[in-house]
Amino acid sequence: MKIDYQKELNGEQLKAVLEGDGRCLVISGPGSGKTRTLVYRVAYLLEKGVDPENILLVTFTKKAASQMLSRVEALLGFRPQGLLGGTFHHIANLFLRRYATFAGYKNDFGILDEDDSKNLIAGIMEEMQITKSAYPNFPKAVMVQEVLSLAQNTRKPMKEVVDSQFSYLELADGEIDKLSQILGRYNEKKKEQNLMDYDDLLINWQNILKDNGEVRQKISERFQYVLVDEYQDTNVIQEGMVELMAETHKNIMAVGDDAQSIYSFRGADIEHILNFSKKYPDAKVYKIETNYRSIPEILDVANESIRHNYGQIRKTLRAVKNIGRKPKVFLLESATKEAEFVSSTVARMRSQGEDLNKIAVLFRGRHSASELELALAKHSIAYLMRGGMKFFEQQHIKDTLAFLRALTNNKDQTAWERVLRLFDGVGPAAAGKIFLRIYSLNSREGINDEALLKDLALMAPNRAKEGMITLGKIIKGASLAQKEKASDYISKIIFCWLDDFYAQYLKVSFPDAPERIEDVHELSKLSLDYGSIADMLSAMTLSEEFEGEVYENGQKGQAITLSTIHQAKGLEWNTVFIIGLKEGSFPHGKSVDDLNFLEEERRLFYVAITRCKENLYITYPMMDWKRKGDQASKPSRFLKEIQSAVEEVNMLSGDPWGESQGYKPHYRGEPSAFRQMRESAPKENPKHKQQFSSKNRLGDFGVFGSDWKKISQDQRYDKSEYNSEDGDEIIHY
C-alpha cells in the first residue's frame, strides 16, 4: 500500500521529506515531529527505488536507531533488508572490522571498556612514577581518562581542554605536560596490544576516511543518502565522518535544533549546525516549526527566553493545541519553602486524581533536589530519580554521613572503615587494624581522645601516614566544633571534613567533582535543621529507606519524575516544575562572564520549558544559604527575560491556591516583590553582542541586537531532545 505523504505529514514535514536531496539542514523544534520526518524520509527514499544498502541513518543512541527502523518497517509493511542504522561508534566499529589495517591495527582488534581503559592509564602513571607523594594534586586515573577523552574528541591542545573544562584541578604547566605524555604513551600501548577504546573507534575511522582515498571512495559511493539525527550534538570528529562518508553523492540530511545544543562538556560543537549553510552554500534549510506538544502559552515563554541568544537560527514555534493556562513564576522565601511548595502542590494534584507519572520536577544541578526529596518523603509521594541515584544514595553523600557516624560512635566499624579507605595507602587490612585501636577506646571520650589522634599515624602503613595525620586534624577540628554546641555545629563539622580533605579527594577522583562538592555543601545546609548529629542521621536514613509505596486511596504504581534538565531532554510531561531559578545556580556561576557558556545555559532553560505540555511552574527562592548564613539571592536573569509571558505569584504571603489564611495577592500600587526581583536581576553584558558579532552571521544566522524588544514575533525560536550513547550493537537489516 502506497503511503499518502500529503495526508500524513504537515506542509513543513512534507517539504523536507520530498525535497531533501543534496545537502539539507532540517531545523526541527521540540514536539514538532523530528523522528516522524526522518522515518518518512527513509520510507520515501525506499519507495522511490533507492536500495536499502545505499541509505545510512546515524543516531546518538541505539534506542533511537531501533525505534526509527522499527517505524520504517511498520510504515512500509516489510523489513528493508540492508538498511543500516546505528550510533556513530557502532557504525565506525562495523567498518573498522574491515579496514582497521589502514590505521595500523588488525581487524580483530579488541575494545577497551571504561574500566580497562582506566586500568591501562593507571599502569602508565605508575611507570612514569606519577605518585601521590611526587604529585600530590595530580588527578587519579579515572580523571585523567576524562581529560584525555575530551582532548581527543575535540582535537584541542591539552592546556586548552584543562583550562576550559577542568580548571578546578589547578594544574601547573608541568603537570599538563605530564597529561600529554600519558596520552602519547596510552595510544602507543593500545596499538601495541591491538586495542581501541571508544574514542579510537571514531578517531581511527575518520582518519582512514580522510587519509585513504580508495576506502573513502568505496564507502561514499555506497551511501547515496546519509541522514543524521541530533546534528547539533556532533563533535568535530563525528562531523568529519559524516562529510567524508557522503563525499560522492553529497546527500546529507542533517536534522537537529541549535536551540537544544547543551552538550559542549562532551565535546559537542554548536558551530556545526550554525555554520552548516556557510560551509555548504548550496545547502537547503527546512524549518519544522509546528509544535504538537505544548500549549501556546508555554511556547511564548520558550520563545521569549531563547530570543536573547545572539547565536541561533531564526524560527517560530506555532502551537497546534488550544489556548491554556499561563505559566506561573512563584517567588518563595527559601529552598526549604520551595521544596514544601512543590511537594504540597503535587500532593494536592494527587488528591484531585491527577496521574503522578505525568508530573516532573526539573533542576540545573543534582544538589537542588536534596530538600525536595525529604519533603516528598514527608508527603508519601513516590518519585523516580532519572539518570542517577537519589541524593542520599550517592557515594560522596554516604562518605560524608559515614564520617559523621564515625565521629559519634567508636563502635561503628562500617562507617570507620569506609572513611579510612578513602585515604591513600589504607586498604582493607590497614583499615581493620586501625579500627580495632579505635574500638579499644570505647570506654573513653570517643574520638576526642588525644591518644587516638596520635595513634592514627603510628598505626598506618608508611604510604598512609600523611593521610592519617590529616584525618587526625579533621577529627580535632570537628571535636572543637562539637564542643561549641552552636546551632550550626554540624555544618562546621562537614566543612572541616570538606576543606581539610574531602574536596581535594573529589577533585582528583571524579570528573564531576564541582557538582559533588556542591552536593556536600547542600548537605551542610540541610544539617542546619537538626539539633544533633543523631537526629540528622535518623532523618536521612528514613528518607533513604522511603520507597514511596504509600498512596492515597490505595493507588500504587505512580511516581513523579525528578531529573536534571540534561537527563530530561527528549521527554515530556503534562506538568513540569522548574526549580532553583537563582543567579549562580541557573545560569551556573561559571557562565556569567562567558557568552558561549551563558547561551548554552539559556538553551538548557529552553529545553526545560519545552518538556511541558500544559502546566508549567517555575520557582525562585529569595534566600540563599551560604557558609556564613542565609543571604538574599539574586533572581536568575532568565526570569527577567520571560516576565511578559508568565504570571507572577508572590508566595511570601501564602499559597497560590487560596487555601491558606495568609494568601494575599498583590494589587495595583502595592510594592511588588517581583518588581524588586526584576530590578535586581543581572544586566546583560554589552561585550556579549560584540563577542558574537565577530562571527559575522547573516540572514538566517543573523545576530540579534541588544534591543530585543523590537524583534518581531516571526523571529522566535525552539528545541527538541537527546540521549547519551547507549546499547551494544548495530541495528542492521
Name the nearest CA neighbour of 181 among 144, 230, 225.
144
Pairing of strands 623-626, 629-632: antiparallel
How far apart, in whole angstroms, are the C-alpha atoms of residue 102 and residue 210?
A: 11
Q: Which residue has the higher pLDDT, 476 or 166?
A: 166
Do the beta carbons of residue 661 and residue 342 sit within 8 Å?
A: no
**Confidence (pLDDT) at 202:** 95
**Confidence (pLDDT) at 696:** 33
Q: Does residue 683 surpass a pLDDT of 70?
A: no
How far apart, in whole angstroms, are the C-alpha atoms of residue 587 and residue 610?
A: 17
**Contact partners, residue 305, CB within 8 Å, separation at least 6:** 602, 605, 606, 609, 638, 641, 642
Q: Does residue 198 surpass a pLDDT of 70?
A: yes
Banded model confidence at residue 687, pLDDT cuts 50, 70, 90: low
For residue range 357-390, list pLDDT tens digits in order: 999 999 998 878 888 988 998 888 999 888 666 7
**Confidence (pLDDT) at 695:** 39
The C-alpha angle 642, 648, 649, rounded to 5 degrees, equals 150
E strand or H helix at 227 = strand 225-228
How far apart, in whole angstroms, are the C-alpha atoms of residue 73 and residue 719?
A: 27
Banded model confidence at residue 664, pLDDT cuts 50, 70, 90: very low
Q: Does residue 179 surpass a pLDDT of 90?
A: yes
**Confidence (pLDDT) at 574:** 97
